[in-house]
């Protein structure tokens, strides 16, 4: 379905009609549609929360919860792991230790699912600065877990609840991932 009038809120139209607008030949919209197929419960939760919060937000502005929802929808990732050591490294931004020194352990014990359709679009022309904003789950169904995580977010939650994740550094995402690669503070900030 092609996009409608510019003055209509996209989120409300999807919520009211159940139809995901997709522009022809738009990689961004195509990836969005694929995320709807892969994570229907999480996407529906995002959409329902947007619809709920829109009337509460100041006219023409998003409140903090809608900022979180938008940033996650466009640039989010779901991290699943039960390894507290790896999660502590993720939370502290110890990228070189996590992604280089512990790369085999990360490959075995940490799953990263890119959720954000804008990140997927950026990966068509990859560059080291591609960064996701992540939520952490302890396992189970990532779609249901993400929907639950988002549904439990308080109304004053903000994007600060999301963890930065320089996805370009995830082991195997790109070539040349040696120690010097992870030492680049421009992309791998503590």
Say what the pTM is: 0.91
Confidence of residue 56 (pLDDT cuts 50, 70, 90): confident
Please, what is the Cα angle at 79 between 74 and 81, to 5 degrees?
A: 175
What is residue 175's predicted lDDT score, i.e. its pLDDT? 85
More confident residue, 139 or 43: 43
For residue 5, being part of any structural domain is answered with no
Instruction: Name the range with the highest mean pLDDT among 4-13, 48-57, 133-142, 171-180.
Output: 133-142
What is residue 70's predicted lDDT score, i.e. its pLDDT? 95
For residue 45, being part of any structural domain is answered with yes
Percent of the chain with pLDDT over 90: 76
For residue 129, being part of any structural domain is answered with yes
For residue 124, being part of any structural domain is answered with yes
78-130 pLDDT, tens digit per residue, is 999 999 999 999 999 999 999 999 999 999 999 999 999 999 999 999 888 89
Decide if 50 contacts 153 (C-beta within 8 A).
no
Decide if 69 contacts 116 (C-beta within 8 A).
no
Say yes or no to pLDDT of 9 above 80.
Answer: no
Say yes or no to pLDDT of 5 above 70.
Answer: no
Q: What is the count of structural domains for the chain? A: 1
Smallest CA-to-CA distance from 112 within 86, 94, 74 is with 86
Smallest CA-to-CA distance from 78 within 167, 182, 187, 179 is with 167
- Domain coverage including residue 83: 10-182
For residue 88, being part of any structural domain is answered with yes
130-172 pLDDT, tens digit per residue, is 999 999 999 899 999 999 999 999 989 999 999 999 999 999 9
Smallest CA-to-CA distance from 135 within 109, 158, 161 is with 161
d(CA 40, CA 46): 10
């Amino acid at each position: 379905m092609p996009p409608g009038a510019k003055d209509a809120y996209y989120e409300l139209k999807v919520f009211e009609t159940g139809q995901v607008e997709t522009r022809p030949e738009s990689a961004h919209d195509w990836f969005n549609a694929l995320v709807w197929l892969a994570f229907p419960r999480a996407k529906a939760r995002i959409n329902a929360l947007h619809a709920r919060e829109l009337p509460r937000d100041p006219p023409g502005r998003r409140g903090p919860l809608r900022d979180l929802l938008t940033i996650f929808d466009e640039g989010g990732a779901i991290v699943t792991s039960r390894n507290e050591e790896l999660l502590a490294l993720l939370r502290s931004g110890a990228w070189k230790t996590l992604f280089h020194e512990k790369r085999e352990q990360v490959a075995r014990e940490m799953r990263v699912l890119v959720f954000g359709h804008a990140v997927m679009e950026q990966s068509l022309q990859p560059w080291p600065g591609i960064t996701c904003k992540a939520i952490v789950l302890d396992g189970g169904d990532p779609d249901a877990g993400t929907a639950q995580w988002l549904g439990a977010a308080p109304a004053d939650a903000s994007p600060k609840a999301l963890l930065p994740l320089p996805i370009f550094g995830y082991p195997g995402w790109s070539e040349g991932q040696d120690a010097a690669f992870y030492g680049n503070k421009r992309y791998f900030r503590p």
